[in-house]
Amino acid sequence: MGVFTDGSHEQVVFCQDRASGLKAIIGIYSTALGPALGGTRFYPYASEEEALHDVLDLSRGMAYKNALAGLDLGGGKAVIWGDPDQIKSEQLLRAYGRFVQSLGGRYYTACDVGTYVQDMDVVARETKYVTGRSVEYGGAGDSSILTAWGVFQGMRAAAEHRWGTPSLKGKRVGVAGLGKVGKYLVAHLIEDGAEVVATDVSPKALEWAKATYPQVGLVADATTLITSDIDVYAPCALGGALNDDTVPALRAQIVAGAANNQLAHSGIEKLLVDRGILYAPDYLVNSGGVIQVADEIDGFNFDRAKLRATKIYDTTKRILELADTEGISPASAADRLAEQRMAEVGRLRTIRI
């Protein structure tokens, strides 16, 4: 069976520059709301098929994320196939930038796993269709700042929906992953009066937590965390955190975290509902980062971007209320609103000007 049998993606571009070692795939799922925006993932995939599957899945996710975030941007994503520690170079990044430029503005790129703001500065030497650049070059800098802020807002909305108050004060929150986003999220939670327990696979991250927030409880691993007596679970590391093994063992009443693709497969959302666990859809609550980099397109203003990211609170409340009213899962409610906006606003482009 071919990968395009559902006819969902508008465009998929395979890019190769033998001299630099560049092998990349750019996936554009939809431009119904505007140019596609999504980051570039630099990763040593086991095969080209695995890389293609990832870019198709991720670009679709970006379309829904951007729609739900209220952005006039479509969904796209790119992957560079290879180990960034081995092959990343100025030559490769600039070659990639030229392929992005060749799409004429149909796709804006940004940072993702394996790429950083400094890389986007290099890519930008060959294309103007790049965001997530460094502050020195007029960019937004570290997008994890507003990613964490958005997750915190989504968590507050879920808390109000479940407990009647948007405060996490006195609640025990388990944070899995103390990377860039997890660190900022911990700061917001402590400031709000929450009790935080956390874990990370990196000894360096754990040392940071001990030194910066000695009041944070640290556990051995994610399995220990989810079986702990916590009120809220915040997966902030790899995808697939909610699966057939973890959901039955989870003791939290709310899940709200920064990780992408938290639901391991279709059907997990029903398992969460059946267990009475309130799930704040990942691509909604972690959209603060894309809101931040999208703001660069019109000239970055942090206060404006933060105000937009703060609205994740309102959108989360709306989705949780819709889920209750319609008797569906929050994940289904989020998809419905995103699809509705893409259809209704996208239709306006048929009116010729």
Per-residue pLDDT of 238-265, as tens digits, reads 788 999 999 999 999 999 999 988 999 9
Distance CA 159, CA 293 (A): 28
SS3 assignment, position 194: coil
- Residue length, the chain? 353
Distance CA 170, CA 149 (A): 19
Per the CB < 8 A criterion, the answer to whether 121 and 134 are in contact is yes
Per-residue confidence (pLDDT) for residue 141, from 0 to 100: 86
One of 23, 65, 77, 88 is an active-site residue; which one?
A: 77
Per-residue confidence (pLDDT) for residue 7, from 0 to 100: 66
Q: Is 171 a catalytic residue?
A: no
Look up residue 27 and give its amino acid. Answer: G
pLDDT per residue over 134-193, tens digit each? 999 989 888 899 999 999 999 999 999 999 999 999 999 999 999 989 999 999 999 999
Computed from CA positions of residues 310, 315, 318, 323, in that sequence, does the dihedral angle turn out positive or negative?
negative
Per-residue confidence (pLDDT) for residue 352, from 0 to 100: 84
Q: Which helix (H) or strand (E) holds 172?
A: strand 172-176
Q: What is the mean pLDDT of the chain?
A: 94
Per-residue confidence (pLDDT) for residue 180, from 0 to 100: 85
Q: Which positions of the chain have pLDDT values less than 70?
A: 1-7
pTM given for the model: 0.90
Distance CA 184, CA 195 (A): 15
Look up residue 190 and give its amino acid. Answer: I
Pair type for strands 232-235 and 36-37 = unpaired
Per-residue confidence (pLDDT) for residue 2, from 0 to 100: 40
| Residues ≥6 apart with Cβ < 8 Å to 29 | 8, 9, 10, 36, 56, 59, 60, 62, 63, 74, 75, 76, 77
Per-residue confidence (pLDDT) for residue 6, from 0 to 100: 58
Q: How many CB atoms lie within 10 A of CB 350?
A: 6
Q: What whole-number percentage of the chain has pLDDT above 90?
A: 89
